[in-house]
DNA sequence: CTGAAAGCGCTTACAG
DNA sequence: CTGAAAGCGCTTACAG
């Protein structure tokens, strides 16, 4: 690969000049410009992004830290979210470095990446990475709230307490008396928040709430097995599934069990791929988390923070319960 | 941000030594190691990935060029494909730089990116980027064949002629007499290839094939409008939809038109999201392109090529027609 | 086991 | 409008 030096020599100019004809940061006479361009073409010279980044300390790349399980495909939620950040970034000329590598807790392996800022999905409790980004002064925005809460960090989140509460309310108002909550795994703040919201709704109702947490593994399988194993011993009137894929598994179990939805059992999913939810039969009642919006708002905020490192801001994205066909109204 | 120089000075060693402590490329005494680490921690030093990349000429990042429309979400095909490359890359410690930016045809804006190689989805006809990557000696693998054909470039592809042919055969064998082919837009090699395969199947059959090409815009809308506008004037017995989203649109039109599937009209989709295809009603007969496999094989090949720039290799991924419920068998 | 120095390929004041 | 030189933050022979 030819370097800026090669073309400078062959064109008989300084590398500063070559640099300028490519960057247009200072005016160069047309004759020199043409000569340089001709030589560049002849030598197949292309500017080196890395060297440039090192010099100007900016890459026009945004890092997206998103833990994707090795075994399963991305969920609809993740896909939409990625979509949101890509779209927003691409609008402003940024590209996205997808980082799904398992995190080293060892700070020695923490390097400052070739990015101008990072978006981090689902920070863990006490996530050490948050402090590290602070130390390296890398602009950071979380999707999902930091735990413990820290108002000096930027984040975008749903109000998951509210979501849990709302779904609980809805079910109660429609006469449900016994529900099964198939929650996310317990290390996620969303799981805790939704559970809390739901509890508040049920607290004084006297109704029964069964509870289960996802351990690991295939979400569809989780939904399937949970229902299959426990339905006969309980009289659920409704089940709340952590995601649409969990709901899909549950749906399958109901078919095999001969349970008819929503007459004998209602299902609501908490995270929803709008196109999938409309194609299931019955169509899935679900709460729309607006994953795409979470993503694009996170990107917007990050890009703002990259321009102006000082700002700290949080934003909660509204979620709404979309009534479709999988829930029975008892009243 | 502290640099390697700062810690070297404060620890009273050379930067080569600091470098070695972090990279472990040459042995450093434990006492020096500890001192350096302590200082690094105190100064919040983190190695700079960019500087390192410049020095060693390697980034452990793979570029993925994938044109994603600004308006619509990624298709299931794209999602699975991305999944495949991410998974494979992440296994080997590589990260993925997602580049959805519109390509400048202007070679001036072509820079050598901070990547060790690139995967390019759907190269255009006469794609000038292919030559440019050759010139910059960046390992490249295409997903979709180069057009015109060039056996010196690495690529992974389905056999789209065969796919078109197979679907045509299947429809013919089942007694279909008039079909509508809702093809992809004409600038894609897949469109030409599938059309050719289909033609070959229909050639001597005496059956009618109506043909339409996607212009742009929403695929679901394309399927919806195409069917809605033309069904009354023709007697299609089957329609072939370029993707499952096109099929979804067509399905919607059939509902509004009161056409019952598959009794009055059969539908087969050419690109398929397995989970979606199973949730539609009726379940969609479709050909599985194995997008995830296309992605992971492309990544495998690229990683191989990064190790050994010399190799050139092509691979065709088998597609299979999955019979579900949306096609009637007339015989 | 460690250091001094050149080098990776750019950019950018400073000077003219 | 252009050049010479320092600098961005690392790595790596070479020498000891």
What confidence tens digit (pLDDT) does each residue in B228-274 have?
A: 888 877 778 999 999 998 999 999 999 999 999 889 999 999 987 87
Which phi and psi (to 5°) does residue B277 adopt?
-60, -25
pLDDT attached to residue A188? 81
Residue B92 clears pLDDT 90, i.e. is over it: yes
Domains and CATH numbers, chain B: 4-47 (no CATH), 61-158+292-318 (3.40.50.2300), 160-289 (3.40.50.2300)
pLDDT attached to residue B130? 93
> Of A93-102, A182-191, B156-165, which one has max mean pLDDT?
B156-165
pLDDT attached to residue B77? 87
**A248-272 mean pLDDT:** 91
**Residue A71: C-alpha distances to residues A75, A216, A277, B155 (Å):** 12, 11, 23, 25
CA of A28 vs chain B CAs: smallest distance (Å): 16
pLDDT attached to residue B212? 80
Q: Do B87 and A80 touch (CB under 8 A)?
A: no
pLDDT: is A212 or B163 the higher one? B163
Give the mean pLDDT of chain A: 90
CA–CA dist B145, B314 (Å, integer):
9
For residue range A293-317, what is the model confidence (pLDDT) as tens digits? 999 999 999 999 999 999 999 999 9
| Closest CA relative to residue A155, chosen from A307, A300, A270, A6 | A300
Q: Is the CB of A60 under 7 A from strand C?
A: no
Residue B119 clears pLDDT 70, i.e. is over it: yes
CA of A23 vs chain B CAs: smallest distance (Å): 10
Confidence label for B276 from pLDDT (cuts 50, 70 and 90): confident
Segment among A84-93, A97-106, B127-136 with least mean pLDDT: A97-106
Q: Is the CB of B29 under 7 A from strand C?
A: yes
For residue range A42-85, what is the model confidence (pLDDT) as tens digits? 999 999 999 999 999 999 999 999 988 777 778 888 888 999 99
Cross-strand partners of B240: B181, B268
Q: Do B98 and A86 touch (CB under 8 A)?
A: yes
Residue from B74, B114, B272, B286 to probe the interface with A (highest A Cβ count within 10 Å) = B114
CA B135 to chain centre: 24
CA–CA dist B155, A84 (Å, integer):
29
Residue A107 clears pLDDT 80, i.e. is over it: no
Within chain B, where are the H helices?
4-11, 15-23, 30-43, 49-56, 76-91, 128-135, 160-173, 189-203, 219-230, 244-257, 274-279, 291-307
Segment among A102-106, A170-174, B99-103 with least mean pLDDT: A102-106
Residue B182 clears pLDDT 60, i.e. is over it: yes
Segment among A33-47, A181-195, A206-220 with least mean pLDDT: A206-220
**B7-12 mean pLDDT:** 95
Nucleotides of C under 7 A from a protein CB: 1-5, 7-13
Contacting residues for B50 by C-beta, under 8 A, at least 6 apart: A50, A53, A54, A59, A112, A114, B114
Q: Do A97 and B97 touch (CB under 8 A)?
A: yes
CA of B125 vs chain A CAs: smallest distance (Å): 22
In order, the DSSP letters of B21-37 are HHH-SS---HHHHHHHH
For chain A, the maximum distance between any two Cα atoms, rounded to a whole number of angstroms, is 87
Which phi and psi (to 5°) does residue B284 adopt?
-85, 120
pLDDT attached to residue B146? 92
Pick the residue from chain B with its C-alpha nearest to A138: B1
pLDDT attached to residue A331? 57
User: Is-contact B83 B50, C-beta < 8 A?
Assistant: no
pLDDT attached to residue A216? 66
pLDDT: is B185 or B247 the higher one? B247
Cross-strand partners of A38: none
SS3 state of residue B135:
helix
Residue B299 clears pLDDT 90, i.e. is over it: yes
Cβ count near A170 (within 10 Å)? 20
Which phi and psi (to 5°) does residue A271 adopt?
-140, 130
Q: Do B111 and A49 touch (CB under 8 A)?
A: yes
Using an 8 Å CB-CB cutoff, list chain A residues near B74.
79, 82-83
Q: Is the CB of B32 under 7 A from strand C?
A: yes
The closest nt to B2, taking CA to C1', is D9
Which residue lies nearest D9, CA-to-C1' measured?
B51
CB-nearest partner of B83 from A74, A107, A136? A74
For residue range B309-328, what is the model confidence (pLDDT) as tens digits? 999 999 999 999 999 999 97
CB-nearest partner of B44 from A41, A52, A136? A136
Which residue lies nearest C1, CA-to-C1' measured?
B28
Q: Do A73 and B292 touch (CB under 8 A)?
A: yes
CA–CA dist B103, B98 (Å, integer):
13
CA of B245 vs chain A CAs: smallest distance (Å): 10
pLDDT: is B124 or A152 the higher one? A152
Which residue lies nearest D5, CA-to-C1' measured?
A16
CB-nearest partner of B279 from A74, A83, A280? A280
Cross-strand partners of B239: B180, B267
């Amino acid at each position: 690969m030819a370097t800026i030096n090669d073309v400078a020599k062959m064109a008989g100019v300084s590398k500063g000049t070559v640099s300028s004809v490519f960057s247009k940061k200072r005016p160069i006479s047309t004759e020199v410009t043409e000569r340089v361009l001709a030589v560049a073409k002849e030598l197949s010279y292309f500017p080196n992004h890395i060297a440039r980044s090192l010099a100007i300390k900016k890459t026009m790349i945004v890092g997206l830290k998103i833990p994707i399980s090795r075994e399963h495909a991305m969920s609809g939620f993740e896909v939409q979210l990625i979509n949101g950040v890509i779209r927003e970034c691409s609008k402003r000329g940024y590209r996205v470095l997808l980082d799904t590598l398992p995190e080293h807790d060892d700070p020695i392996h923490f390097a400052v990446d070739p990015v101008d800022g990072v978006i981090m999905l689902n920070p863990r409790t006490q996530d050490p990475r948050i402090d590290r980004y602070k130390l390296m002064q890398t602009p950071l925005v979380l999707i999902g709230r930091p735990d413990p809460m820290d108002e000096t960090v930027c984040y975008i989140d749903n109000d998951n307490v509210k979501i849990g509460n709302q779904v609980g309310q809805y079910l109660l108002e429609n006469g449900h008396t016994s529900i099964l909550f198939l929650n996310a795994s317990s290390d996620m703040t969303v799981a805790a928040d939704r559970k809390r919201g739901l509890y508040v709704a049920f607290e004084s109702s006297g109704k029964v709430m069964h509870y289960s947490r996802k351990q690991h593994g295939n979400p569809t399988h989780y939904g399937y097995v949970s229902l299959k194993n426990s339905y006969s011993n309980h009289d659920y009137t409704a089940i709340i599934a952590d995601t649409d894929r969990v709901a899909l598994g549950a749906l399958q179990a109901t078919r095999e069990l001969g349970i008819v939805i929503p007459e004998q059992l209602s299902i609501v999913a908490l995270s929803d791929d709008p196109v999938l939810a409309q194609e299931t039969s019955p169509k899935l009642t679900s709460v729309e988390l607006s994953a795409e919006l979470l993503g694009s708002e996170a990107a917007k905020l990050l890009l703002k923070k990259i321009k102006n490192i000082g700002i700290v801001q949080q934003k909660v994205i509204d979620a709404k319960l979309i009534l479709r066909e999988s829930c029975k109204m008892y009243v």
